[in-house]
């Protein structure tokens, strides 16, 4: 069931002009004002007229750097200090093998495009390169900045490629870096806060105390943001959309002469309609799903988030990102396996295997897989050589991306790495290439530009080119 966080407050009487502007701005979304987002969607123009194979994206970002050599590019003939502890298994694609802890995924490889040669020099955990395609920045610990390049979801909102009746770009279960420090990548950057995603929130529970390298399964759901920013709106009144809108209408009528209220009656009311619409709320209401479906995804924060992603796509959302990061520090909810690499993967891989294939089966059963692009990747790979504490360190020189549905070719393996999975030996793929491919599948010209803060045209793919080998 969708839960609304925050303390109960009084009924919606006695609103001030400041209260109205607060509601009108829907500041309950971190760094996002939904009415401005709606304005951006109205103003955005589709710069091209291309056939789109996909109309929605679900991006699964394995935060921390998933070990490509232990998942999708095993090297069983390499020395033991490189090949590791896992064995390869055959897949539904002849001659293609993946990790033994991904048996369900192995059966779905006939439907996948596997890229084994993602490479760049951005050695940072920020999901900046993943979401924007830009990998030329400095490795910095600073959070999102107004001059950052925008994420794909933000670009799609700016171009008016999202729906007006549901959130077009959703990032779950919480903003990136919520367990440490805010991280760039998911935001709109120089396109402005109006194109930021809807960041959900979460309140996970744990059955034991873990450590940074001893993962613990978080239990909970992705939730709509709290209403604390709207002190005159209670959780009880939240569902009474008609009453709320009537009160806003009355105040708008009384304040129409104010310059500050220009445009309020259209965009502000539409914003509130989106927030309180049954389509938005229902998408997050997992109680509507049969128990067997919830079991298929896994009854944890990650599985619940991916199930909510399917429901959002079904409702009409265009870009839904699931960022696999634990909500509380030191519970091991990440793929940053500097230590205890194999035991951490023994914990994570079965969950990924279960929930990913549940999503694919679910989309297929509903006739949505052909038009929904599912992507699994991370910000980097891991070192071929195993360290002293049974870990693998950062390795942006080589990583993977798994793409399914949404117009991708089936049963394709793109790119080959050397004998230790350290470097591509053919068909290197940059983050810009991945982003260009995603735009192309969505029917957006990957050579399109958007204006930066000075009005200069900036390419949305940062020089990347679509990977024709994986486009069906």
Which residues are CB-neighbours of 53 under 8 A, at least 6 positions away?
A: 371, 373, 406, 407, 441, 442, 443, 471, 472
Q: How far is CA 78 from CA 81, 360, 420, 421, in A?
A: 8, 33, 6, 10
Residue 148 has pLDDT above 50, yes or no: yes
Mean pLDDT of 213-231: 73
pLDDT given for residue 268 in this prediction:
53
Question: What tokens appear for 105 in the block?
Answer: 């995924």
Q: How far is CA 21 from CA 35, 92, 194, 432, in A?
A: 11, 56, 15, 39
Count the neighbouring beta carbons within 10 Å of the beta carbon of residue 361: 14
Residue 22 has pLDDT above 60, yes or no: no
pLDDT digit string, tens, across residues 294-349: 999 999 999 999 999 999 999 999 999 999 998 676 788 889 999 999 999 999 99
- Across the strands, what pairs with 451? 457
Count the neighbouring beta carbons within 10 Å of the beta carbon of residue 416: 13
Count the neighbouring beta carbons within 10 Å of the beta carbon of residue 142: 12
Query: 245 falls in which pLDDT band (50, 70, 90)?
Result: very low
Mean pLDDT of 372-377: 98
Q: Which residue has the higher pLDDT, 124 or 16?
A: 124
Query: 33 falls in which pLDDT band (50, 70, 90)?
Result: very low
Question: Alpha-carbon distance 174 to 176, whole Å?
Answer: 6
Mean pLDDT of 225-237: 41
pLDDT given for residue 145 in this prediction:
92
In three state form, how does the secondary structure of 418-445 look?
A: CCCCCCEEECCECHHHHHHHHHHHCCCC
Mean pLDDT of 174-181: 83
Peptide bond before residue 40 is cis, with ω within 30 degrees of 0: no
Percent pLDDT > 70 in the chain is 77
pLDDT given for residue 273 in this prediction:
63
* Angle at CA of residue 327, ends 278 and 236, nearest 5°: 35
Q: Which residue has the higher pLDDT, 434 or 48?
A: 434
Residue 52 has pLDDT above 50, yes or no: yes
pLDDT given for residue 265 in this prediction:
44
pLDDT given for residue 140 in this prediction:
65
Residue 414 has pLDDT above 80, yes or no: yes
Q: Which residue has the higher pLDDT, 100 or 40?
A: 100
pLDDT given for residue 7 in this prediction:
27
Residue 196 has pLDDT above 50, yes or no: yes
Give 206's DSSP letter. -
Mean pLDDT of 96-103: 98
pLDDT given for residue 326 in this prediction:
80
SS3 382: strand
Residue 454 has pLDDT above 80, yes or no: yes
Q: Is the dihedral of CA 172, 462, 183, 324 positive or negative?
A: positive
Whether 293 contacts 362, CB under 8 Å = yes
Q: Tell me which range, 21-25, 255-259, 455-459, is most confidently predicted by mean pLDDT.
A: 455-459
Question: Alpha-carbon distance 145 to 122, whole Å?
Answer: 17
Q: Which residue has the higher pLDDT, 85 or 35?
A: 85
SS3 311: helix
Percent pLDDT > 90 in the chain is 65
- The separation between the first and the last C-alpha atoms of the chain, rounded to the nearest angstrom, is 38
Mean pLDDT of 17-38: 40
Residue 5 has pLDDT above 90, yes or no: no
Question: What tokens appear for 115 in the block?
Answer: 């890229």
Q: Which residue has the higher pLDDT, 462 or 251?
A: 462
- Kindly tell me the burial class for residue 409, based on how many C-beta atoms sit within 10 Å of its own C-beta (0-12, 13-18, 19 or more): middle
Which residues are CB-neighbours of 393 under 8 A, at least 6 positions away?
A: 338, 382, 383, 387
Residue 252 has pLDDT above 60, yes or no: no
Query: 250 falls in which pLDDT band (50, 70, 90)?
Result: low
Question: Alpha-carbon distance 442 to 435, whole Å?
Answer: 11
Residue 451 has pLDDT above 70, yes or no: yes
Question: Alpha-carbon distance 50 to 384, whole Å?
Answer: 41
Residue 24 has pLDDT above 70, yes or no: no
Query: 137 falls in which pLDDT band (50, 70, 90)?
Result: confident
pLDDT given for residue 6 in this prediction:
29
Q: Which residue has the higher pLDDT, 8 or 34?
A: 34
Residue 456 has pLDDT above 50, yes or no: yes
Mean pLDDT of 161-184: 88
Q: What is the mean pLDDT of the chain?
A: 83
CA-based nearest residue to 373, from 97, 96, 111 = 111
The second-level CATH assignment, the architecture, of 52-224+279-470 is 3-Layer(aba) Sandwich (3.40)
Pairing of strands 424-426, 198-199: unpaired
């Amino acid at each position: 069931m969708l839960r609304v966080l925050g303390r109960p407050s009084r009924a919606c009487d006695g609103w001030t002009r400041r209260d109205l502007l607060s509601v009108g701005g829907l500041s309950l979304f971190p760094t996002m004002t939904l009415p401005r987002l709606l304005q951006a969607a109205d103003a955005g123009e589709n710069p091209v007229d291309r056939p789109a194979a996909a109309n929605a994206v679900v991006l699964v970002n394995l935060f921390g750097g998933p070990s490509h050599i232990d998942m999708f590019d095993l090297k069983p003939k390499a020395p033991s200090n490189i090949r590791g502890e896992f064995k390869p298994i055959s897949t539904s694609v002849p001659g293609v093998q993946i990790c033994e802890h991904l048996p369900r995924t192995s059966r779905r490889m006939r439907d996948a495009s596997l890229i084994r040669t993602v490479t760049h020099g951005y050695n940072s955990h920020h999901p900046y390169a993943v979401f924007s395609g830009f990998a030329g920045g400095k490795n910095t610990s600073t959070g999102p900045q107004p001059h950052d390049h925008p994420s794909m979801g933000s670009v799609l909102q700016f171009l008016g490629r999202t729906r007006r009746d549901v959130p077009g770009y959703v990032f779950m279960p919480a903003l990136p870096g919520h367990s440490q420090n805010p991280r760039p990548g998911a935001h709109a950057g120089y396109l402005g806060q109006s194109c930021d995603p809807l960041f959900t929130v979460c309140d996970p529970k744990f059955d034991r105390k873990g450590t940074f390298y001893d993962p613990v399964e978080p239990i909970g759901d992705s939730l709509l943001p709290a209403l604390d920013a709207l002190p005159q709106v209670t959780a009880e009144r939240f569902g009474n959309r008609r009453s709320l809108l009537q009160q806003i209408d009355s105040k708008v009528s009384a304040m129409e002469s104010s310059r500050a209220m220009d445009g309020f009656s259209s965009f502000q009311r539409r914003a509130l309609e989106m927030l309180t619409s049954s389509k938005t709320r229902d998408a997050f209401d997992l109680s509507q799903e049969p128990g067997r479906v919830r079991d298929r995804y896994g009854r944890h924060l990650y599985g619940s988030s991916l199930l909510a992603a399917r429901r959002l796509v079904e409702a009409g959302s265009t870009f839904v990102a699931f960022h696999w990061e634990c909500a509380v520090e030191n519970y091991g909810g990440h793929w940053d396996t500097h230590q205890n690499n194999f035991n951490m993967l023994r914990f994570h891989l079965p969950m990924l295997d279960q929930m990913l294939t549940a999503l694919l089966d679910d989309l297929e059963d509903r006739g949505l897989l052909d038009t929904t692009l599912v992507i699994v990747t991370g910000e980097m790979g891991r070192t071929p050589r195993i360290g002293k504490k049974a870990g693998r360190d950062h390795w942006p020189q080589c990583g993977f991306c798994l793409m399914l549905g949404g117009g991708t070719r089936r049963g394709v393996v793109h790119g080959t790495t050397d004998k230790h999975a350290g470097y591509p030996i053919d068909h290197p793929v940059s983050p810009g290439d991945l982003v260009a491919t995603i735009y192309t599948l969505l029917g957006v010209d990957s050579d399109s530009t958007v204006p930066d803060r000075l009005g200069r045209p900036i390419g949305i793919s940062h020089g990347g080119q679509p990977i024709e080998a994986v486009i069906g």
